[in-house]
Structure 1
Amino acid sequence: MEAGLKSKIIGDWLALTLLTNHDYFHISITEAKEQRDPNLNQGRNYWRRVISVFQFCKVLQTMLGLRKVISIPGVQKHLAPSFRCLNYQQGQSPDPKTREYFYYIDHQGQLFLDDAKMKNFTSCFKEKDFLVFFFKRIKENSGGKYADEFPYISPCGREKNYIRCDDTPIVFTHFIEGLASEGKLDRLSYGGAGERMTMTFEPENVCMLPESGRMYHPAPEQYGGIGLIKSSLVIELSKNFEFESGDETRPPSHFNWRGTRYTLTNILYDKVKFRRFIQ
């Protein structure tokens, strides 16, 4: 098969595979089709050739990793811009007064170096003083350097810590029950710092997406105003939802909490309903 055609086919295959897997990058089917040269598209025969390199791509993904597959000469130019990977080195200094680091926050709220090959509990950051310091400085990287790849930043003097995340930079991981008799409100903890980083639980403002089952809660504006609730907490809280007319294809309409039936505002729904996330 002609080398140029093979690289184009690989690009199309990756685009469609990543769409269905929600894996690291996203592209619509329309965008994927637009990347193809119409002169090379010969209907079914073209897509048969796409399928014919399926195993070839899977081997490359396994052996080299997604980033290296995309960097194969001739493949990258056929992918949409959002597929193009940022090449960086942890601690790089674009100028003498700056050092740059790159981080990733998963859907459990765990913080990792972005280029860590293994991302699990054993490899995430756990030191609470560091986590408090890091998370309190997170803000949106609006129009800043690397904003497309790393939409959040946690600046620290001459260090610029760029962050991408599975969903939101803030994930509420623990529920801290308040004592009504002492006038203490229920709180949600985030950032892996226990009681050192919390915000008041607002039962009327929780929002669940029926399509994904993900649940959100308001967060400080510096983090974008939205925080994901950890899946283990969702399991506990979801039993308190009510769906209007029993229609579970729509967001829940009410939430029962501590003897009170709250009408949900769903103020976050318009912000999160089209959210794309990496599984």
Structure 2
Amino acid sequence: MPMDKPFSGASQIHALRKRLMEQTKWSISTSLSSKDAHVIRAVQTSKNLEAIYNLLFEQTLEWYALHFPEIRQMVRDPLNVLGIVVRAGPRSKITREVAGQFYTDDYSIARLTDAAAKSAGGDLDENALRAIQGVAQTALDIKKEQTRLNDFVVRQMKDLAPNFSELATPTIAAQLLAKAGSLKHLSELPGSTIQVMGAEEALFSHLKTKTRPPKHGYLFNHPLVKPLPKHARGRMARTLAGKLAICIRVDVFGQSRVVDQYKPALEALSKRLAKSSPRARKSLNVRRR
């Protein structure tokens, strides 16, 4: 069949190239402006902030312990350690009033103030104190920013994937999304893949050295999985992942609410597994939906 206008000539090639470039630019712009791309970036940034926060806390604790070594045993919460460094400064100023900002019981308050008064730590000059407080304040600021980022992620996930987020919890849902790379790709994954997402190192070790395969990744921290005895977590994670695979497909390709169909059965299964013994786990069944 003869063509009306044969595809030839520099002008036609230039026009086609321009058209393809515009289409590619539009596709990239659409992809980068999608909400899931912002959630993924927020999750990755929050993870980086957590690493920086932990590093700054460790450095603050090591440094301040030269002046008040007993604080290692007295104060376990990192935020409390940082708060004491910033608000009190030298151990001589760790009064009952300051300690009361971090503890509510008299025993803990008296224990901390007594340790500060009898500390065997070295002296701390004003310049060193300001330096330590600066690092501690930076760590606190980073933790606040991380909290704001996490709040943003939770709000966005509830909007993007309501069924998936409610069943997985918004935090775990965001972690799974970040690992998958996009909502569309996540919706294409089977439950067996979702179950072990976040456990790639253990999975690689299994494939390479034939160790036991991982039973869960991010889902380990799910409230229906984590409290269970070790022998029951894999069963719970597998069943949960199967329902999550359905929920994310509904969120991406439909508009209905389906999570209420699965939550009661999953909660009932978790309760039964919590009471099960390793030998009895094979006899437990969850009602299929």
The answer to whether TM tops 0.5 is no
Greater RCO (Cα-Cα under 8 Å, separation 6 or more)? 2
TM-score by length of 1: 0.26
Say which structure is richer in helix.
2
Q: TM-score, normalised by structure 2?
A: 0.25
Report the structure, 1 or 2, having the larger strand content. Answer: 1
